[in-house]
Structure 1
Amino acid sequence: MDVSLKPIVYSALFIALISIGALIAIPVGPVPIVLQNMFVLLAGLILPPAWAAGCVAVYLLMGFAGLPVFAGGTSGIGKVVGPTGGYLLSYLPAAFLTSVISGRTKNSLIRDSVATITGMAVIYLFGVPWLKWVLAISWSKALAAGMYPFLAGAVVKMIAAVIIARKLRPLIRL
């Protein structure tokens, strides 16, 4: 494979994985449990920063354009103004920062762990205030609906992303 095509192919793969990760959605309130955030973090661990953010941008544009790639097979620009809009928009800086912090080529467990923790924190830092604002609820209700029920799963997703990235990096040369 031509070296210049590799980032494009891997980015397309991550767009597909993020999309598939969103299709399996378990509703637990205004914010469902999905795997798309794990794949956003994994893209950040594997791809260079611009490519990680770029594949997330393409994913978001696909969903805003009407392709059913958001949680539960939904789509549309209206998702931005809904309760999960902050989470969706957070994926861009989360993927970028995860990539920058991980350094991708170092394969350092500590760097990867800090990168995924930072990426997940960005997702909640965008998502919870957005949820509070859109639903006009208190901070305690926003945290109870948009973060607390997801923390254990977030830890599992971060661990899985780090393990997968550490196994894949030696096989992927960008």
Structure 2
Amino acid sequence: MERNLAYVALFAALIAVLGLIPKITLMSGVPITAQSLGIMLCGTVLGARRGALAVLLFLGLVALGLPLLAGGRGGIGVFFTPSVGYLIGWPIAAYATGWITERFGAGKPLALTAGIASVIGGIVVLYVPGIIGMAAMLDKTLPQASLLALPFIPGDLVKAVLAGLVTAALARARPGAVLSRS
């Protein structure tokens, strides 16, 4: 139990640290950040349930006002910006990424499984609420908001590959630390 709590807190902190990397804000008002890599790693390393809990802890701290999002943003107001769909989608994406890693990772190369899980959960699943949130907050149609999301895809694909490689490296170095495999 304590180990699970420690991992959840550690990965919430990892997401916060990845927010220190400077953001790049696009015309949509949604920034490109390294924090989505943390979301993917929550799922691939911690698994579905613990990964989603780590993200929920992080979002709870943001809602309380801690400036943990890229660019030092925090507070309840961030949930009323074009990023809201992505923020809501983060725990769903971590859960989906972890679920895929848990179900399909046994006996397969972890880097490949975690990378594919990150693409499906951390990009495909995440973009659904992300695009809906952008459409709602920017008063755009879903196709218009989808076009605004296109610039994020190349960077997110790189993050998915990194998540797969980091997860596999962690499994080699400390097999017991990759909870999605246990």
Do they fold alike, i.e. is TM over 0.5?
A: yes
**C-alpha distance after superposition, 1:132-172 (max 9, x if no partner):** 11110233431232x11111101100000000001112314
- The runs of at least 4 aligned residues of structure 1 exceeding 4 Å deviation read none
Q: Residue 69 in 1 paired to residue 68 in 2? A: yes
**C-alpha distance after superposition, 1:54-92 (max 9, x if no partner):** 110000000000000123111111211211011001011
Percent identity, please.
Answer: 31
2:16 partner SS: helix
Counterpart pick for 2:26 among 25, 28, 32: 28
Structure 2 CA distance for aligned equivalents of residues 165 and 127 of structure 1: 25
1:71 partner SS: coil
Q: Residue 90 in 1 paired to residue 89 in 2? A: yes
Counterpart pick for 1:142 among 137, 140, 145: 145
Q: Residue 5 in 1 paired to residue 2 in 2? A: yes
Count of matched residue positions in the alignment of Structure 1 and Structure 2: 170
Structure 2 CA distance for aligned equivalents of residues 75 and 68 of structure 1: 4
Structure 2 CA distance for aligned equivalents of residues 42 and 117 of structure 1: 12
Shift of 1:110: 4.3
Shift of 1:7: 2.4
Aligned to 1:125: 128
Q: Residue 163 in 1 paired to residue 160 in 2? A: no
CA contact (8 A) 2:48 2:99 kept: yes
Structure 1 CA distance for aligned equivalents of residues 89 and 41 of structure 2: 15
Structure 2 CA distance for aligned equivalents of residues 61 and 109 of structure 1: 30
Structure 1 CA distance for aligned equivalents of residues 48 and 141 of structure 2: 35
Instruction: Please identify, of 40-49 and 59-68, the stretch whose mean Cα deviation from structure 2 is larger.
Output: 40-49
**C-alpha distance after superposition, 1:100-151 (max 9, x if no partner):** 1101863544432331122111111110111011110233431232x11111
1:163 partner SS: helix
1:74 partner SS: coil
Instruction: Please identify, of 123-132 and 99-108, the stretch whose mean Cα deviation from structure 2 is larger.
Output: 99-108
Structure 2 CA distance for aligned equivalents of residues 92 and 72 of structure 1: 21
> TM-score, with normalisation over the residues of structure 1?
0.89
What residue identity is the alignment partner of 2:64?
A
Structure 1 unpaired stretches of 5+:
none
Structure 2 unpaired stretches of 5+:
none
2:67 partner SS: coil
CA contact (8 A) 2:40 2:160 kept: yes
